[in-house]
Structure 1
Amino acid sequence: MRALIIAAGLALTAGAAHADPCEAPVSGYRAGQVIAGPVIYAGDGDSLCVALGRDRAQWVEIREARWFAPELHEPGGREAKRVMDRLVGRRAVCIVERGQNGRTSSYDRVIAACSVDGRPIAEHMRRDGIAEGGRGR
């Protein structure tokens, strides 16, 4: 319960501060490395910010590796972000992967396959009727 209260406080701080509060460097992550912590911010339907600590320099922005949401300006994009917004405050476990670019980062985000509450992001999206889209598909 205490962790949930802290995560909610971090999320409120993140939302009030500015649109993208994640400030951790994205370089240096290795494929297979685990990133785990509360989700404090949803950038869109396939990016999220995971807090590894209280300091913004420990907030890692992640590009979900196994789900390609529609862009915000495309049909379904806002709905995908709303699903991701509902994951804020919950615990994410993400495994770093190499993307199509061969690297573990893309557009200043770490590429990782994430589960929230033990369920893959793609499952959360499909359960709520979100169709895949975006630049990755």
Structure 2
Amino acid sequence: MVIRIAAPAAAMLAMFWCAPAKADPCEGALPTYGASFSGTVRYIGDGDMLCVGAKGRRDQWIEVRLGDFYAPELHERGGEDAKRRLIRLAMGRTVICRAGRRSYDRIVAYCTLDGQPLGELLRANGGREGGRGWRR
């Protein structure tokens, strides 16, 4: 009897407790493996995710997961700092990227800013790695 009441109550609580995930604005087609692409950084989702593309053309913004830096997740210690660091370094600036593999609905890419690898710039500016998938 308790289980028959508890299960529906838990399901109702979960519906109200969980917030919908925020969708990122990157809607562009992903480049093929090895392709080079460039553009202005238009959006930053966290410490290692950004959108690259032309102003006002979200349908052409490419969602990039940096291939050379693993930031902590936003909910982890240091995650918000990592996002702010990437915003300071890259927002509104032009990056040149080379596409790697796909990861979910984004491309893992290696990007440079003023000729310097973005991952190296993040580390040189105090960025600490430690997100999911990070290995020493």
Q: Same fold (TM over 0.5)?
A: yes
Number of paired residues? Answer: 112
> Is the 1:95–1:114 Cα contact (8 Å) retained in structure 2?
yes
Alignment root-mean-square deviation, CA: 1.6
Residue 91 (structure 1) aligned with residue 94 (structure 2): yes
What's 2:60 paired with?
58
2:27 maps to which of 19, 23, 27: 23
Task: For residue 35 of structure 1, report the CA deviation from its aligned partner.
Answer: 1.3
Map 1:111-130 to 2 at 5 A. Answer: 111-130=108-127
TM-score where L is the length of structure 1: 0.75
Q: Which runs of 4+ in 1 moved over 4 A?
A: none
Which amino acid counterpart does residue 71 of structure 1 have in structure 2? E
Identical residues among aligned pairs (%):
47
> Is the 1:90–1:117 Cα contact (8 Å) retained in structure 2?
no
Show structure 1 runs of 5+ residues with no match: 1-17, 98-103
What's 1:32 paired with?
34
TM-score where L is the length of structure 2: 0.75
> Is the 1:36–1:52 Cα contact (8 Å) retained in structure 2?
no
What's 2:4 paired with?
none
Task: For residue 75 of structure 1, report the CA deviation from its aligned partner.
Answer: 1.2
Instruction: Find the aligned partners of 1:125 and 1:22 in 2 and give their Cα distance.
Output: 22
> Is the 1:52–1:60 Cα contact (8 Å) retained in structure 2?
no
Show structure 2 runs of 5+ residues with no match: 1-21
SS of alignment partner, residue 111 of structure 2: strand
